[in-house]
């Protein structure tokens, strides 16, 4: 069985991270996100995937080319010239499908411990034309909700309802099983949305079923959810399955005197950690990062080559590749710093501020 993975979107909500890295390759625990998707497919016994590409296809293809452990797992590339949307992307991948059985389709930004096998088996048992997997969320107001009948047929879709209209907390988990005739019926070479066009049409005809999963699920579409997904993988909730004391510090890492590294943490190859620095509260440091003396990094993702200078603080934020956070600067509150940006001495960034790549904030004098 093959899968189609939708990885062609612009990832606008995750900018500036996605200006230089497609969402499918942003690292979690220093492993490109697509690696987790491939693990999920292989665990389910799926033996190949078609990557439905649009935005930044080259680094995704290079990532696959560099993997030497995909024996027996086929990868094909369907590249769009213009964005075709979620169903258009599936249609564009159709020519790479072999045989005639159902196909699993995944949004390429979903991290889950869900059993794809269970979804496929239910799809077949129900004789569905299409099956949408659903997951429950605590606050359903921000999502499109899906109401389900007792026999698991989809009853209706509710798009971002107000709190008094809420009848369910089940949302589309971005993983589908589709019969081939459903893919055949999608018009070619035009933008089509599976959520807004294909599924409502199938629901009217009664062929659309839901598979509800209670397994771990999160998408990484926003800075908040990307950071949360990273924390969850580090603490073993999903992915690698390590326990809460997870600590990965390679021998190429140099650690200064009295520096504290508190698990769960991953420290990439070649990092240098200064004296008295503190790294903890679920941190992922990419390759060749430098953390200065007395600096503190907490609950954050720091990408390759970033420098956090002496006495600087990074807390609950995402620091892009080759960023420099200068002496004594503070970056907190879900700030997101684009690749190569510089936060000059004495700056305090907070409240989800996003810095575009290569922006340089001048130093600020600090008065006490």
Residue ranges that bind ligand GTP, judged by CB under 6 A: 6-14, 23, 52, 54, 80, 83-86, 89, 107-109, 221
Q: What share of the chain is helix, strand, coil (3-state, %, to 5)?
A: 25, 30, 45
Nearer to ligand GTP, 292 or 320 (CB): 320
Minimal distance, residue 198 CB to ligand GTP, in Å: 13
Q: Identify which of residues 87 and 210 has a Cβ nearer to ligand GTP in the complex.
A: 87
Q: Residue 60 CB: number of other CB atoms within 10 A? A: 25
Please give the distance of CA 213 from its chain centroid, rounded to a whole number: 19
170-178/103-107 β-pairing: antiparallel
| C-alpha gyration radius of the chain | 22
By beta-carbon proximity to ligand GTP, the closer residue of 78 and 343 is: 78
Nearer to ligand GTP, 12 or 62 (CB): 12
Distance CA 33, CA 30 (A): 9
Q: Residue with the closest Cβ to ligand GTP?
A: 9
Q: Choose between 25 and 314: whose C-beta lies nearer to ligand GTP.
A: 25
Name the minimum Å distance from CB 52 to ligand GTP.
Answer: 4
The tokens for 66 are: 């560099």
Query: Shortest Cβ distance from residue 286 to ligand GTP (Å)?
Result: 22
Q: In terms of CB distance, is 76 or 242 closer to ligand GTP?
A: 76
Nearest distance from residue 89's CB to ligand GTP, in Å?
Answer: 3
Q: Measured between alpha carbons, how far is 37 from 217 in angstroms, rounded to an integer? A: 12
Supply φ then ψ for residue 53, to 5 degrees. Answer: -110, 155
> How far apart are CB 144 and ligand GTP at their closest, in Å?
11
Report whether 18 contacts 26 (CB < 8 A).
yes
Residue 176 contacts residue 104 (beta carbons within 8 Å): yes
**What's the number of CA atoms in the CB half-sphere (13 Å) around residue 342?**
10
* Shortest Cβ 179–ligand GTP spacing (Å): 20
Torsion of CA 140, 160, 217, 1, to 10 degrees: 140
Q: Which of 174, 315, 227, 331 is nearest to 17 (CA)?
A: 227
Nearer to ligand GTP, 124 or 197 (CB): 197
Greatest Cα pair distance, the chain, in angstroms, is 71
Nearest residue to 155 (alpha-carbon basis) of 181, 173, 174, 132:
132
36 vs 246, beta carbon nearer ligand GTP:
36
**Minimal distance, residue 312 CB to ligand GTP, in Å:** 29
Cβ at position 79, least distance to ligand GTP in Å = 9
Determine the distance from the C-alpha atom of residue 242 to the mean position of all C-alpha atoms in its chain, rounded to a whole number. 19
Exposed/middle/buried for 165, CB within 10 Å: 0-12, 13-18, 19+? exposed
Q: How far is the CB of 221 from ligand GTP (least distance, A)?
A: 5
Q: How far apart are the first and last CA of the chain?
A: 65
Give least dist CB 339 to ligand GTP, A: 18
Nearer to ligand GTP, 10 or 240 (CB): 10
Q: Which residue lies nearer to ligand GTP by CB, 110 or 301? A: 110
CA 199 to chain centre: 23
Spatial distance between the Cα atoms of 326 and 312, rounded to a whole number of angstroms: 7
């Amino acid at each position: 069985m093959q899968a189609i993975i939708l990885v062609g979107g612009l990832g606008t909500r995750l900018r500036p991270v996605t200006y230089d890295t497609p969402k499918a390759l942003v690292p979690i625990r220093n492993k490109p996100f697509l690696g987790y998707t491939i693990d999920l497919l292989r665990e389910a016994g799926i033996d190949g995937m078609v990557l439905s590409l649009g935005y930044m296809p080259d680094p995704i293809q290079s990532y696959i080319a560099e993997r030497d452990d995909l024996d027996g797992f086929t990868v094909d590339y369907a590249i769009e010239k213009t964005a075709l949307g979620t169903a258009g992307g599936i249609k564009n991948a159709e020519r790479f499908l072999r045989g005639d059985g159902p196909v699993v389709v995944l949004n390429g930004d979903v991290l889950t411990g869900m059993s794809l096998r269970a979804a496929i088996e239910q799809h077949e048992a129900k004789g569905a034309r299409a099956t949408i997997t659903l997951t429950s969320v605590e606050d359903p107001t921000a999502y499109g909700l899906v109401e389900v009948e007792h026999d698991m047929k989809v009853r209706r879709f509710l798009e971002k309802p107000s709190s008094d209209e809420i009848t369910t907390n089940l949302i589309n988990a971005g993983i589908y099983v589709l019969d081939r005739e459903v893919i055949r019926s999608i018009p070619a070479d035009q933008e089509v949305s599976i959520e807004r066009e294909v599924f409502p049409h199938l629901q009217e005809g009664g062929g659309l079923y839901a598979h509800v999963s209670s397994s771990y699920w999160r998408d990484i579409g926003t800075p908040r959810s990307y950071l949360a997904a990273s924390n969850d993988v580090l603490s073993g909730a999903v992915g690698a399955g390590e326990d809460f004391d997870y600590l990965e510090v390679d021998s190429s890492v140099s650690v200064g005197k009295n520096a504290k590294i508190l698990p769960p943490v991953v420290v990439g190859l070649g990092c240098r950690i200064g004296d008295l620095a503190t790294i903890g509260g679920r941190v992922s440091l990419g390759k060749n990062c430098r953390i200065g003396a007395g600096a503190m990094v907490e609950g954050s993702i720091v990408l390759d080559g970033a420098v956090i200078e002496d006495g600087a603080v990074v807390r609950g934020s995402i620091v892009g590749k080759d960023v420099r956070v200068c002496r004594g600067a503070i970056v907190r509150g879900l700030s997101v710093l684009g690749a190569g940006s510089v936060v000059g001495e004495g700056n305090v960034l907070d409240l989800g501020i996003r810095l575009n790549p290569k922006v340089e904030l001048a130093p600020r004098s600090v008065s006490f």
